Structure 1
Amino acid sequence: MRTPEMFLAATEQYARDEDSMGRFVADECHLAPGNDLVQIRTGQLRAAYEQMCRELGDEPVSAPVHPGCA
């Protein structure tokens, strides 16, 4: 049995709507692969992401904890 196209489209839209990190990168970040002059500190990037989430009423994705970085 095939999944109805309407269901697939709604599922894809939901995933995009719930992807706050992807939305942040697309809307707020200047990407320049290979250009070492475009840089930001991790803390500044995280703060900007969390601010965007607060403004949109979203819950930020939790930051990963790497061994030895706590």
Structure 2
Amino acid sequence: MRERDEVLEKLRSKYFERISRGEGSAHDSLVLGFGEYIEEVYAAYEQHKLETLSFKKHVSYHGTTRKLQP
């Protein structure tokens, strides 16, 4: 859960940086930028979900619960 929150916070920061730089018109930045933001958030969530499921399968297959090395 904490990792997902960190990913979402990074995406929020990236989104608001784009708005503050004024990419496109104000309307484009808010409307189109928000759509892109939602797509990125959803993609990050799906990636996190896949990595979590993959790790759980690995742990159950190998019968280990040791921590991963950074």
Q: TM-score range by the shorter chain?
A: 0.3 to 0.5
Q: Scaled by the length of structure 1, what TM-score is found? A: 0.34
As a proportion of its length, which structure holds more helix? 2
